[in-house]
Structure 1
Amino acid sequence: MSPIRFRRPAPRRAVTAALATAAALATVGALTAAAPARSHPAGGHHPHTTDLQLLAINDFHGNLEPPAGSSGRVTELRPDGTTTDIDAGGVEYLASSLRAARKGHDRSLTVAAGDMVGASPLLSGLFHDEPTVEAMNKLGLDVAGVGNHEFDEGKDELLRLQNGGCHPVDGCYAKGRTFKGADYPILSANVVHEKTGKPLLKPYVVKNVKGARVGFIGVTLEGTPDIVSAEGVKGLKFLDEAETINKYTRELQRRGVRAIVALVHEGGYPASSAYNYDCDAGGSGSGLSGPIVDIAQKVSPEVDALVTAHTHSAYVCTIPDPAGLPRLVTSAASFGRLFTELNMKYDLRSHDIVRATVKGSNRVVDRTRPRAADMTRLIDYWQTLAAPVAEKPIGYISADIPRGTEGTVESPLGDLIADAQLAHARTLDNSTDLALMNPGGIRADLVHAASGSEGDGVVTYAEGFTVQPFSNTVNIKDLTGAQLITVLKQQVSGSNAEAPKFLQVSEGFTYTLDLTKSGADRVVTDSIRLHGKPIDPAATYRVAVNSFLAGGGDGFTELANGTRQLVGGDDLAALVDYLTAHSSPAAPYTPTAADRITVIR
């Protein structure tokens, strides 16, 4: 056993994982949709069929404890058209909900569509997500796909999470306790070795549940190399999702497997943020946009359903397959706040799913349910190990500091992090002009209310880690004014045209964003100012960004072209230092007005 050393994971962690277990149903309403059959009878009596249930989760991100702030709520649409927010999530409640949902179902499988680990809060992330994998084992996860965050710590760490063994640097975390790895297969059909073309992990698995044989194919988004660090995916190639699913669908059919479900770590954007929004109110597929729509329209009609992920959205939609027949495409938001229940008939003679009977519902993991005792014990065990680091105060805040929701242009927490990185950069190079922060690197709100034994307004190391868990460094680069303008335009063009990624900016840097326009024109070039002075395209500016952005991540390829790079310290350490220097119990940090970017709508 190696002595326990509390350290942050290696740059941009990875892994695949699962979910949890407990004692009652966390089911607060559900939207139900059904998809017609392929070649099967569209209805009527099926004398040789049996019931089959699939329970699906995605984008858990190691959220063993109930997520705080907006990350721990879902929006419900009421019959009168109004909405209400419901507190949701936490593996103790997720476990109870899933176990209750399985009752009365002789044939039930629990599946996940990736990002079960990575970008995790401290309770899981501090231990390289071993706690989450152990929770998923207890939960009874049957199979998981691979998401982009499973590559945060690289392929070797992903393989360790599957196969077990102590961490190569931190070792084992307790005497006589060796990490056993995931009990469930982690699938990566379209992630292959560049040299051999062979899949990194199993491409598919066939589950036999009392005579019902179901094949699961797992794929992650083809664009993973664009949104993770280059080191994390070195030596790997990511293939087209639909082509890969179709390839292994044919292979499964040759093996006599006709019931097939794809676990796809790519997603879409529903027309409403309410989890129970009727996605098909205007017709099949009309309520969903984004990459998953194109993928679903190309995936073989022999695939019976697509369980999807990545966008952290909630939807149960029907999208036409290549034969023109509607097929269910689902996603259960993120952080264990929802799970999708799919119920269907399985034909024991044809060994296929009767597509006309497939119905899906997203169900809320609310916190009014009993907690799963085994998950409580698991959390208590890891909390005890993490306590010396987790409970350390790092600052004080006067109110909630939100990170914003999907589509937020600027957030008070984004401002805080950008200011912290600029302050850190100036300790290394006092000529640094500004800092830019990617919104995807901000994982949770900073909440004023006390959690555990801390007092209101106290920010602990655990809370800071939850906000910035990636172990990036703060890097400084030279950019010309023209390059800086290009970077801003890349927020709303290129790979970010459909789903913009708005960079958070440090104090003194301002500009106008005109959302009535399209593409790169949404950035009003002559509005860009640094301390009130227009940006000079020919001048050189010293810009601080995290190491992920410095490598061109999130579609900001122009940042990779910056010169004279200086690598600084850990980004979380920069936040800790800034809060320590700019807050106290008597004078807590006050959230900004988030008015650095002017938005025209």
Structure 2
Amino acid sequence: MPATSQPDPGRRRRTYRLLAAAATLATTGALAAALPADAHDAHHGKPLPSRYQDVQLLSFNDLHGNLEPPSGSSGRVTELQADGTTKTIDAGGVEYLATHLREARQGNAYSITAAGGDMVGASPLISGLFHDEPTIEALNKLDLDVTSVGNHEFDEGAKELARLQNGGCHPTAGCYTDKRFKGADFPYLAANVLSEKTGKPILAPYWVWKKKDVKIGFIGVTLEDTPGVVSAEGVKGLKFKDEVETINKYAKVLQRQGVKSIVALIHEGGLPASGAYNYNCDSPGAGGGISGPIVDIAKNISPSVDALVTGHTHAAYVCTIPDPAGNPRMVTSAASFGRLYTDTTLTYDRFTGDIARTSVKSANHVVTRTVAKAPDMTELISKWNTLAAPIGNRAIGYIAADVPNTGTESPMGDLIADAQLAYGRTLDAGTDLALMNPGGVRAGLTYAAKGSEGDGVVTYAEGFTVQPFSNTVNLQDFTGAQLIQVLKEQVSGTNTSAPKILQPSANLTYTLDLTKTGADRVVTDSIRLNGAAVDPSATYRIATNSFLAGGGDGFTTLGQGTGDLVGTDDLTALEQYLTANSSATSPIAPPVANRITIVQ
């Protein structure tokens, strides 16, 4: 690790000692800091430090174990051109991310690297197959200093998260190599995630970066609604507290310790008015700037917090949102999958110990693939790919063209729903339809994928990237009235402002009228199953994954089914469907994605 990016080599292992009582600047030191930069110590003839010190904050979020360059649209960013047009740029891959971060640190003696959660979870096979140990190893090599937890850090529960932090072999899979997994060199922060038994945070709530006389505190939180987007088993025994209340609480704790410069790492985000990573949402003609949960959060977090690094929405933005005192404060997000990183300059005032907010500058930068690959990352990827190859390279099907995961109704989501309906009918011939949650579809399938398997071949590794959660396919009985209510829950309740449109099997059609509001956006009279109107009093057998069957994503009605039957995991269902319906000479065509008629 370059000297410019490692402020304290002794602090990077196992125990992260929080600054329980950090000393404030001594009177003489404060007076010295207030002197001009060219002043000299009368006794020793040494130049005194400048009052202001620029600190580089490099940040990213939502990596999701994407060690290799993500394919298709998941591996591109949109760049706004000077003439108002846009172009796409291939981006991402830790071999390139490492190079970009290392180059960015050059010449910056005060540099910190932080992340906004979801470093792991929903990961491609190279990481997910090994319970994300490869990603933790990569983040250690990236010299990540600190990260908040995200909702996906809880996919396998709090005990597994603790293992990723502290190290040790997996309790059931064992050790994957001849070396014991060491865990993260950086602290995971979970200020608003409490143990139900103790009422205390399950991991450190904050951490203080320190170099010489400069101190910056970091508070890490995930979204309060994590239980709504993670399986019940993953959050068992945990309580998730309000983001604003938690950050404000620990900001006071840090201030009492003499730490006045504070950054919040928040795994919750917003939606900018433009999808271009370099869109200026503060410009007079921005046309809406940014919306979403992070806006209200930012407006209510204490003014003592100087900057917010956010995530979760996979969007790219560098915006200022006013704090409760009405002063602008920087809020950033670097999209997802390692395609961008944010470079923020925090100007530290040695006299006050605080950040000079008017001097904060920030910008997102593309992790282009035109730079040299970092050799240590290439070696890491090669090691884990060798272990994964016997499983990952197996062909499970053939596609005639790309199956994208884009749009309100995506071809990939439809394909999965069709696969789950077909599998459900092998368990119970009376299965009527299938519904798939959009958040469970992590990628599309690319016809000309990387590797040597040949165009159109779908490998197990590619299928794993699409569906990495190991959810089971569940069958349940619902009345027609409940089915109609489920469709309305896509655009009402907790999903009112951010709809979650379920991907339907081919035999379910309806109209979604986006000119209306709330539940009325689902046109009840348009709902058809096998071409016939849904009978509110009839019983229908529905296939979903186990996450939805538990009422996840705000679909409370799906948690009220009867006659439960639990099948195999969802990836196996997809594999079986592709095997039965495609071959090298007769590949399967992408679904047309015309099951939902959208009125705008």
Same fold, TM exceeding 0.5?
yes
The separation in 1 between residues aligned to 2:286 and 2:337, in whole angstroms, is 28
- In the alignment, which residue of structure 2 is the partner of 1:127? 130
CA contact (8 A) 1:69 1:447 kept: yes
Q: Which residue of the partner structure matches residue 508 of structure 2?
A: 509
Once the two structures are superposed, what CA deviation does each residue of 1:463-501 show, in whole Å capped at 9, x if it has no partner? 000000000000000011110011001111111111111
What's the CA shift for 1:447? 0.1
What's 1:294 paired with? 296
**Matching residue of 1:577:** 576
Give aligned pairs, total: 554
How big is the shift at 1:284? 9.7
Q: For 1:314 and 1:158, locate their aligned partners in 2 and report how far apart those are by CA, in whole Å.
A: 27
Change (3 A) 1:300 1:538: same
Cα deviation, 1:164-221, whole Å, max 9, x if unaligned, reads: 000000000122x110000000000000011221000000000102321000000000
- Give the match's secondary structure for 2:296: helix
Which amino acid in the other structure matches residue 142 of structure 2?
A: L
Counterpart Cα distance in 1 of 2:176 and 2:120: 18
Whose Rg is larger?
Answer: 2
Task: Output the CA distance in 1 between the equivalents of 2:287 and 2:143.
Answer: 32
* Equivalent in the alignment of 1:480: 479
- Counterpart CA distance in 2 for 1:350 and 1:283 is 36
Contact 1:50 1:347 in 2 (8 A): yes
Residue in 1 that maps onto 2:499: 500
Residue 326 (structure 2) aligns with: 324
Give, in whole Å, the separation in 2 of the partners of 1:72 and 1:564.
Answer: 42
> Which residue is 1:394 aligned to?
396
- Equivalent-residue separation in structure 1 for 2:214 and 2:287 (angstroms): 29
Aligned to 1:156, which of 155, 159, 170?
A: 159
Counterpart in 2 of 1:17? none
Unaligned ranges ≥5, structure 1: 1-20, 22-44
Alignment-derived partner of residue 596 in structure 1 = 595
Alpha-carbon offset, residue 402 of structure 1: 0.2
After superposition, give the CA deviation of every residue in 1:53-107 in whole Å (9 maximum; x if it has no partner).
0000100000000000000000000011111000000000000000000011000
Structure 1 vs Structure 2 CA RMSD: 1.2
Q: Is the 8 A contact 1:412 1:591 kept in 2?
A: yes
Q: In 2, Cα distance between the equivalents of 1:570 and 1:195?
A: 32
Write the distance in 1 (CA, Å) between the matches of 2:328 and 2:177. 51
Paired AA for residue 524 in structure 1:
V
1:90 maps to which residue?
Answer: 93
Q: Equivalents in 2 of 1:275, 1:395: separation in Å?
A: 35
In structure 2, C-alpha distance between the alignment counterparts of 1:291 and 1:82, rounded to whole Å: 29
Equivalent residues of 2:71, 2:449 under 8 A apart: no
CA distance in 1, matches of 2:290, 2:170: 41
CA distance in 2: counterparts of 1:445 and 1:72, whole angstroms: 11
The answer for the alignment partner of 1:75 in structure 2 is 78
Residue among 349, 352, 355 paired with 1:353: 355
Give how far 1:124 is off.
Answer: 0.2
Matched residue, 2:415: 416
1:183 to 182, 185, 201: 185
Do structure 1's residue 48 and structure 2's residue 51 form an aligned pair?
yes
Whichever residue aligns with residue 203 of structure 1, its letter is P
Task: Check conservation: 2:411, 2:590, Cα contact below 8 A.
Answer: yes
Of the three residues 99, 123, 139, the one matched with 2:142 is 139
1:50 is displaced (CA, Å) by 1.1
CA contact (8 A) 1:188 1:219 kept: yes
User: Could you tell me whether the CA contact under 8 Å between 1:285 and 1:317 is conserved in 2?
Assistant: no
* Structure 2 counterpart SS, 1:589: coil
2:251, 2:591 → 1: CA distance? Answer: 52
- In 2, distance between residues paired with 1:209 and 1:270? 35
Identity %: 69
What's the counterpart of residue 25 of structure 1? none
Confirm or deny that 1:62 pairs with 2:28. Answer: no
Partner residue in 1 for 2:235 = 233
| Corresponding residue SS for 1:233 | coil
Are 2:124 and 1:117 aligned?
no
Task: Give the aligned partner of residue 205 of structure 1.
Answer: 207
**Contact 2:273/2:286 (8 A) holds in 1:** no
TM-score under structure 1 normalisation? 0.91
The amino acid of 1:434's aligned partner reads L
Q: Distance in 1 between matches of 2:53 and 2:155?
A: 41
Please name the residue that 1:459 is paired with: 458
User: For residue 339 of structure 1, what is the aligned residue in structure 2?
Assistant: 341
Q: Whole-Å Cα distance in 1 between the matches of residues 213 and 172 of structure 2?
A: 44
Moved over 2 A (4+): 282-286
Distance 2:517 2:378 in 1: 49
Q: Secondary structure at the match of 2:101?
A: helix
TM-score, normalised relative to structure 2: 0.91
Deviation at 1:452, TM superposition (A): 1.1
AA in 2 matched with 1:306: L
Contact 2:476–2:565 (8 Å) recurs in 1: yes
Per mean C-alpha deviation after superposition, the further-off stretch among 191-200 and 428-437 is 191-200
Give CA deviations for 1:1-54 in whole Å, capped at 9, x if unaligned.
xxxxxxxxxxxxxxxxxxxx9xxxxxxxxxxxxxxxxxxxxxxx9851111000
Aligned to 1:40: none
Of structures 1 and 2, the one scoring higher in RCO (CA 8 A, sep 6+) is 1
In the TM superposition, residue 283 of structure 1 has moved relative to its aligned partner by 8.1
